[in-house]
Structure 1
């Protein structure tokens, strides 16, 4: 019997793959993930950092049967909408991947690509396309963020976001898209943490800017020392931050209380103003101005009437439930997080909305025997996460609301779900894109479906 030789140590080193260079190619369009699309010799090529109308030299990073992927290593002929990125971390950070594109042109390209995918994949198109919803700020707009924290063996502190295509952090002193107030606090937090020799057990901080301060929660693998806790509490007090720490397997501990910081104002022009309470781990729309524009566009589309009943799915803190409740007979709000359902009912009570009932359930696996699902509704609103709402749409197939509004944060999910809704007998009457995330490829979309 022949025995194999025993090998010690790590696996045999494979020769480094040689990257190919593509002859200059013309970029034809922008994909939904923000990459340029070229078709040299008929094969699709996705190119990072390339824009429609440009001629670029490409380094091929991955080759497949159906398409190749690469990055632009030189721009031979730039397009007129190319701009110089404002952020010094742009080439490293995985956050803002379209800073090289003029924001006004970016929203038009995103809308066009969404329409193209609806026609190509689902064979449908909206009856009308409304003007995009755009905020006044293209930088300094982001009011919520999760910032990673790490420490090298040398003691050097790292605070920032993930690198492009990596889990490692880019150390960032200032983020161009975060609000000024968040940037100021992050700078002060960095200074405080840098004074301590060992802080590797602190892994991240989640921050949301409320109407009157910041709500922040530190995550840690173990409890903080008394000295560090005191320093952080002093820092939070100075910056009017409601600060807590959540250590692994331990109850959340408040280091500094500022209840005023845990409130968001929503201006439902021109009739009402609402105040939503939240915590740092809750989901909130990151762009306050665009969120208000979006709420008012949905109200304009749905035209809710006093005698009507509304089903609000993926309802969160009550972002849409509260404005709708002021205009209709009853709102039924359904959300996956029991904590957020409880908070949404508290928000309803504090804002004088006694006509909201709320339920916690997994909408990706809806209980078809649930009482709220058996009720009838005049209007339905869907605001799902990235995976969309395929399962609940199927569960709602026998419902006959006069209109259904769908807010999508993933275009591919909207394309799939819009096709299903049209097949169920809805008219795809209106579409609108919302520039919730300037400087990035991400796009928020609003779609209105009406019964034929």
Structure 2
């Protein structure tokens, strides 16, 4: 075993190792000279040669050089862009084994981080669709391998763009829209500095396209681009032009210059209007499984006229989905556009006793603590970073009988479970696979007041 204070591995070392496991970011895990080595692109059961890229105190990170022996769970990657595009790192792993590893990742996080010795983990629910499931994709602008302007997805481990033509997570319509936009942005709209092209194709129908550009573009460009795109790609029902000045890989326009068309989605028994830049789960059929599980955990029908708080409520999707069993629902959402959609959705669905408080979770929870009503159940669907420490304290002060946590990050979910103890205990958790072919996994967790 390597000395805990001296790592015998140095950058540039070549190593051959057996991959024993997968970790939450999708990398394979093996050992070399007694040190844990994380290998990008490796699968469990493989023997690989890898080059050490970085060394930490007790671990190392490596780049895959060669698969010496394949895994028994390995299959030929069906995507034509496999090996270059960074979008589907697990597509060479049998889907059944993907589910096994995702369930194990959630279990490990609850054991190690939340310190729950035997997590009450229910079997993972697979996605109804393993391919073609995405209702939204964010394509980036950048440079191709040849240094030319390109629109596509990031190359694995690089800023370069892979000009995808046959992404298997998308529908054929989305790929036709991307191809048409690629021609337009390299032709009549080549003077527009694009940042992202967001294509949304909800199961309820339609196809909404948002072009996010750098500042300096005029609103009239949006109208011309919409007309040209509709002519080039049949099936486009809405187009928006937004601008973004901030750097970074966030496909979110800071200001909308032009928009036409409507965007709606159907999930279970409700239909929702979405803003063109609103958050919504990218896999609608699997999201229905997730929402049904969250509703079952909430068990609102066991209360008399229950009060439900829907924290980080977005356009109201979870709160309105559960409203049929609630006496009152209070949504909490910071984004003004999402708040407007949530209110409009409640009116359209005829949901009474529903209101939305606009503001960040900490400030709104602080107000609700003073004016009420006290919740019987709280459902939270926070960003990937999880719950703010102040929000955790505010939730425990509100003393709901049940907390239902919906999380896309097993590590931060486990951290939040630990923070909520000892006031709340983990009663059940259900992983749901919303992201086949990738290491990401969604989890619904039920915490009960002790």
The TM-score normalised by the length of structure 2 is 0.87
What do residues 306-326 of structure 1 show as CA deviations (whole Å, max 9, x unaligned)?
A: 511111111111111112111
| Equivalent residues of 2:384, 2:408 under 8 A apart | yes
Task: Look up the match of 1:122.
Answer: 114
Distance 2:118 2:375 in 1: 24
What's the secondary structure of 1:395's corresponding residue?
helix
Residue 194 to residue 276, structure 1, CA distance change in 2 (3 Å): same
Distance 1:290 1:423 in 2: 32
Task: Look up the match of 2:217.
Answer: 223
What's the secondary structure of 1:32's corresponding residue?
coil
Q: Which moved more, 1:50-59 or 1:99-108?
A: 50-59
CA drift of 1:100 comes to: 1.9
Q: How does 1:179-258 map to 2 (within 5 A)?
A: 179-196=171-188, 198-210=190-202, 211-221=204-214, 222-223=216-217, 229-230=223-224, 232-236=226-230, 238-247=234-243, 252-254=256-258, 257-258=260-261
Task: Look up the match of 1:266.
Answer: 267
Q: How does 1:11-410 map to 2 (within 5 A)?
A: 19-22=12-15, 24-125=16-117, 128-150=120-142, 156-196=148-188, 198-210=190-202, 211-221=204-214, 222-223=216-217, 229-230=223-224, 232-236=226-230, 238-247=234-243, 252-254=256-258, 257-259=260-262, 262-267=263-268, 273-305=269-301, 307-363=305-361, 365-366=362-363, 369-371=366-368, 374-391=372-389, 392-410=391-409
Task: Look up the match of 1:8.
Answer: none
Residue 155 to residue 417, structure 1, CA distance change in 2 (3 Å): closer
Distance 1:18 1:67 in 2: 12
What's the secondary structure of 1:375's corresponding residue?
coil
Task: Look up the match of 2:429.
Answer: 431
The number of residue pairs the alignment matches comes to 425
CA RMSD of aligned residues (A): 2.6
CA drift of 1:209 comes to: 1.2
CA drift of 1:197 comes to: 7.1
What do residues 174-197 of structure 1 show as CA deviations (whole Å, max 9, x unaligned)?
A: 322122321222122223333337
What's the secondary structure of 1:340's corresponding residue?
helix
CA drift of 1:289 comes to: 0.5
Distance 1:351 1:386 in 2: 29
CA drift of 1:104 comes to: 1.6
What's the secondary structure of 1:289's corresponding residue?
helix
What's the secondary structure of 1:161's corresponding residue?
strand
What's the secondary structure of 1:370's corresponding residue?
helix
| Equivalent residues of 1:139, 1:176 under 8 A apart | yes
Distance 2:92 2:367 in 1: 49
What's the secondary structure of 1:95's corresponding residue?
coil
Distance 2:350 2:219 in 1: 43
CA drift of 1:33 comes to: 0.8
Distance 2:117 2:206 in 1: 43
| Equivalent residues of 1:126, 1:428 under 8 A apart | no
Distance 1:399 1:258 in 2: 41
CA drift of 1:231 comes to: 5.5
The TM-score normalised by the length of structure 1 is 0.87
Residue 367 to residue 283, structure 1, CA distance change in 2 (3 Å): closer
What's the secondary structure of 2:421's corresponding residue?
helix
CA drift of 1:235 comes to: 2.7
CA drift of 1:247 comes to: 4.0
Q: Which moved more, 1:126-135 or 1:415-424?
A: 126-135
Residue 198 to residue 191, structure 1, CA distance change in 2 (3 Å): closer
What do residues 202-261 of structure 1 show as CA deviations (whole Å, max 9, x unaligned)?
A: 222122113221111112223269688536414326423201212469963446x433xx
CA drift of 1:127 comes to: 5.2
CA drift of 1:414 comes to: 0.6
| Equivalent residues of 1:163, 1:170 under 8 A apart | yes
Segments of 5+ residues of structure 2 without an aligned counterpart are 1-9, 246-253
CA drift of 1:277 comes to: 0.8
Residue 232 to residue 346, structure 1, CA distance change in 2 (3 Å): closer
Q: Which moved more, 1:157-166 or 1:426-435?
A: 157-166
Name the larger-Rg structure. 1
Distance 2:398 2:418 in 1: 17
